[in-house]
């Protein structure tokens, strides 16, 4: 027991904080972009809608390494956008914490977007019509009627987005690398220590991830489960 506590005290805890920070930052970005994208796509019609929807959902279906490949293509310091960001603003995406956030955001974004959209699509259109005929402004209708009505769906999407961003591995390792104390997230640390046959450290991190995952699912059920009171489902 004492050995374990010494071991835990010596353990480098930075991956936990990096993962949590990345998760929170990516969730905030996805929250706003996802809701915005959901609203915009809902207003579209015809083939444009299908194409944009497909592109926005793609990161969810693609292997993360493929997304990582495209991100590298985009942000590499030898590519136009990478050069522009580095020389113009001194912003480095590859091998940096910013890379972690971008990779996690891209991978987790479809979860937020999809959930927000299905939540919005469940809002009774007559509520919006009623708001308009009552003289409420579009902004007021959105914030006072649509968002609260779609609230549980959006909250559920946010939680799933956080969970996905927290555990991102493939795209992150390609774009941000595995720099200890800087870009090494929990998932990357597990992969790394396992290469050195260090099952104890890996096991501890696995335990931590499982606790977080369980809490997330619990929270999700708590938030989303509440709404289905008056609905009979099969």
Closer residue to another protein in complex, CB, 147/191: 147
Q: What angle do CA 214, 216, 217 make, to 5 degrees?
A: 65
Cβ-contact 183, 172 below 8 angstroms: yes
Q: How far is the CB of 112 from another protein (least distance, A)?
A: 21
Q: How far is the CB of 156 from another protein (least distance, A)?
A: 16
Q: How far is the CB of 137 from another protein (least distance, A)?
A: 7
Q: How far is the CB of 128 from another protein (least distance, A)?
A: 9
Cβ-contact 188, 210 below 8 angstroms: no
Q: How far is the CB of 191 from another protein (least distance, A)?
A: 45
| 18, 20, 23, 29: CA torsion to nearest 10 | -90
Closer residue to another protein in complex, CB, 40/132: 132
CB proximity list for 161: less than 8 A, separation 6 or greater:
26, 27, 30, 31, 34, 108, 109, 111, 112, 115
Closer residue to another protein in complex, CB, 87/124: 124
Closer residue to another protein in complex, CB, 72/154: 154
Alpha helices in 76-124 (DSSP H): 80-89, 97-121
Q: How far is the CB of 221 from another protein (least distance, A)?
A: 21
Closer residue to another protein in complex, CB, 40/140: 140
Collapse the DSSP code of 51 into the 3-class scheme (helix H, G, I; strand E, B; otherwise coil) and give the result: helix
CB proximity list for 83: less than 8 A, separation 6 or greater:
77
Closer residue to another protein in complex, CB, 25/119: 119
Classify the C-alpha dihedral 139-143-144-145 as positive or negative. positive
Closer residue to another protein in complex, CB, 137/221: 137
**Alpha carbon of 183 to those of 13, 16, 73, 85: distances in Å?**
13, 11, 19, 19
Q: How far is the CB of 154 from another protein (least distance, A)?
A: 13
Q: Footprint of another protein on this chain (CB under 8 A)?
A: 124, 126-127, 129-137, 144-145, 148-149, 151, 230
What is the Cα Rg of the chain in Å? 21
């Amino acid at each position: 027991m004492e050995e374990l506590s010494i071991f835990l005290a010596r353990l480098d805890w930075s991956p936990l904080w990096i993962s949590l920070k990345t998760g929170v930052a990516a969730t905030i970005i996805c929250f706003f972009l996802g809701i915005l994208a959901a609203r915009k796509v809902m207003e579209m019609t015809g083939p444009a809608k299908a194409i944009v929807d497909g592109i926005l959902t793609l990161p969810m279906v693609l292997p993360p390494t493929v997304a990582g490949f495209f991100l590298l293509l985009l942000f590499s310091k030898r590519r136009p956008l990478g050069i522009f960001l580095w020389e113009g603003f001194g912003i480095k995406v590859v091998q940096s914490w910013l890379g972690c956030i971008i990779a996690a955001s891209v991978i987790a974004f479809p979860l937020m977007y999809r959930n927000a959209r299905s939540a919005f699509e469940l809002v009774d259109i007559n509520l919006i019509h009623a708001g308009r005929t009552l003289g409420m402004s579009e902004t007021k209708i959105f914030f006072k009627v649509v968002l609260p009505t779609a609230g549980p769906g959006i909250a559920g999407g946010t939680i799933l987005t956080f969970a996905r961003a927290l555990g991102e591995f493939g795209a992150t390792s390609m774009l941000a690398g595995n720099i200890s104390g800087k870009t090494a997230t929990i998932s990357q640390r597990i992969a790394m220590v396992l290469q050195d046959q260090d099952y104890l450290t890996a096991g501890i991190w696995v335990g931590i991830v499982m606790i977080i995952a369980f809490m997330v699912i619990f929270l999700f059920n708590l938030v989303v489960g509440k709404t289905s009171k008056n609905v009979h489902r099969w």
